[in-house]
Homo-oligomer: A and B are copies of this chain.
Amino acid sequence: MAKVSLGAKTMTLPTPAWMIGSYDAAGKPNLMTAAWGGICCSKPVCMTVSLQKPRYSYAALMERKAFTINVAGEADVAKVDYCGMVSGRDHDKFAACGYTPVQSELVDAPYVAQCPLVVECKVIHIQELGVHTMFVGEVLDVKVEEAAMKGGKPDPLAIKPIVFAPEDRHYYGLGVDLGPGWSLGKAIK
């Protein structure tokens, strides 16, 4: 057990590979890929996503105070990567990906019809941290593709979310079911 020090790196696992949906000032739907984010509160249900100021989506989140989190299936990994490579300033990423934007009925942001899992968020807190600004979004609804539901719950093995690994900078699929929470630990208890 000898450890190597990497220094102060944005390295932990797993991190998500979300596409953040927003409208620009002209009302054009846009997507950007984000791996800096996570759930941050159970009541009110909140999630964070962090953006750099130069990102085209930054002004959209600031002005519309809304965003969607779109979780693509692993078959769409090239689309997820593309949405992190080009800017919405000069690209229509929905069109390039063949994605259909759906206007959320709850927040002023679009979501991707083709994504198996989408989360609609209203910005309730903004925190400047340094090169990133952290947006805390209150979740108003989570929508899951019917075909990805199993026994009334979303089935991760049907959603097939993409995992991003910082440093390595590769995307990974979801692996095998390791077992149920609040249960496996009884063996130690």
Contacts and interface: CB of A to CB of B under 8 A. Distances in A.
Contacts of A157: 172
Q: Interface residue tally of chain A, by bracket? A: 35 or more
Contact of A182 (B5, B12, B81, B156): B81
A130 B12 contact: no
Contact of A129 (B18, B41, B79, B143): B41
A119 B11 contact: yes
B188 A78 contact: yes
A12 B36 contact: no
Contacts of A82: 184-189
A22 interface: no
Nearest to A111: B3
B14 A161 contact: yes
A181 B169 contact: yes
B81 A183 contact: yes
Interface string A74-96: 10011111111110000000001
B5 A141 contact: yes
A2 B85 contact: no
A159 B44 contact: no
A71 interface: yes
A3 to B, nearest CB: 4
A100 to B, nearest CB: 8
A134 B170 contact: no
Given A14-B16, A71-B13, A145-B2, A168 B154 contact: yes
A4 B146 CA distance: 6
A118 interface: yes
